[in-house]
């Protein structure tokens, strides 16, 4: 009963996302691959227009997380920062499915890990996977200030190793959500391993799923773009998940394990 109940809850959450996506994601188009013929909405912190400003005003962020995001986007690798619309989506989805154990693949300064931690109850756990401690150290003071640091467990090694370690430790089918926002060529492997770790009703959230429109550009053939194309195809074709691909920020893919 619990398993099927949580599947139903997860599917309801997916429906909620689909129903509300116009509000979250409609903005003046920002980025477009030259031959894709498709405009990608773009990240809100890269855009300056009245409608984006309106959306940002209504997607109210945690005050400390907002400071961390403002700090992060000024970094020379600042485009790796999750925008407020993706962060709020992560927090709300964690709350909607009653998440307690989640995985963040690709931390940078920790905006996504922070956002997921906000959606977890006391005792909840974010397994944060990255290979670059230098960037993480920039964000850790904000985690402490915001009171979420106790929920974030760092694993500084390739994420594929961390995922396999979790499986080897008997944690299969026990995680509620996995957020993927790291090296694109490894996206398919993250999905393969992550699917074993998710419980029924658990959820993948995949960032950069439209990759600035390059996924639809037939002239683009590189490892990163093909990695994103492959995970989108895998999530679409995998019979054990329900999949939704949406044009929010740089594209978000959501898959719920049935």
Average pLDDT, the chain: 88
153: Cα separation from own chain's centroid: 17
Q: What is the pLDDT of residues 199-225, one digit of tens each?
A: 999 999 999 999 999 999 999 999 999
On whether the CB atoms of residues 230 and 192 are closer than 8 A, the answer is: no
Q: Which of 5-9, 28-32, 58-62 has the lowest mean pLDDT?
A: 28-32
Instruction: Give all strands of the β-sheet with 152-156 in edge-to-edge order.
Output: 152-156, 125-130, 101-105, 175-180, 198-207, 252-257, 241-246
DSSP class of 40: B
pLDDT digit string (tens) for 38-79? 565 565 555 568 888 888 889 889 999 999 999 999 998 987
What's the DSSP call for residue 110?
S
Alpha carbon distance 187, 209 (integer Å): 10
Parallel, antiparallel, or unpaired: how do β-strands 241-246 and 175-180 relate?
Answer: unpaired
Rounded to a whole number of angstroms, the distance between the first and last alpha carbons of the chain is 14
Question: By 3-state DSSP, what share of the chain in percent is helix, strand and coil, each rounded to 5?
Answer: 50, 20, 30
Q: Tokens 């980025």 belong to which residue?
A: 31
Q: Per residue in 135-194, pLDDT tens? A: 999 999 999 999 999 999 999 999 999 999 999 999 999 999 999 999 999 999 999 999
For 213, the token pair is 């429109």
């Amino acid at each position: 009963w619990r398993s099927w109940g949580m599947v139903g809850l997860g599917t309801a959450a997916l429906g909620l996302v689909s129903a509300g996506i116009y509000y979250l994601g409609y903005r003046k188009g920002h980025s477009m691959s030259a031959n894709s013929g498709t405009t990608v909405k773009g990240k809100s912190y890269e855009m300056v227009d009245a409608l984006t400003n309106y959306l940002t005003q209504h997607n109210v962020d945690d005050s400390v997380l907002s400071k961390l995001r403002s700090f992060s986007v000024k970094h020379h690798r600042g485009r790796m920062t999750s925008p407020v619309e993706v962060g709020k989506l992560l927090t709300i989805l964690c709350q909607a499915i009653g998440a307690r154990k989640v995985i963040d693949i690709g931390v940078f300064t920790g905006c996504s890990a922070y956002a997921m931690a906000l959606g977890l109850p006391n005792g909840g756990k974010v397994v944060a996977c990255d290979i670059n401690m230098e960037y993480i150290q920039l964000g850790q003071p904000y985690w402490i200030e915001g009171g979420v640091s106790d929920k974030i467990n760092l694993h500084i090694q390739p994420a594929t190793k961390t995922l396999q370690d979790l499986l080897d430790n008997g944690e299969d089918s026990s995680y509620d959500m996995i957020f993927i926002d790291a090296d694109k060529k490894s996206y398919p492997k993250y999905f393969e391993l992550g699917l074993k770790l998710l419980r029924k009703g658990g959820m993948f959230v995949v960032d950069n799923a439209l990759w600035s429109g390059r996924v639809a550009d037939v002239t683009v053939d590189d490892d990163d773009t093909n990695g994103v194309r492959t995970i989108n195809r895998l999530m679409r074709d995998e019979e054990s998940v329900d999949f939704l691909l949406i044009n929010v920020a740089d594209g978000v893919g959501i898959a719920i394990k049935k």
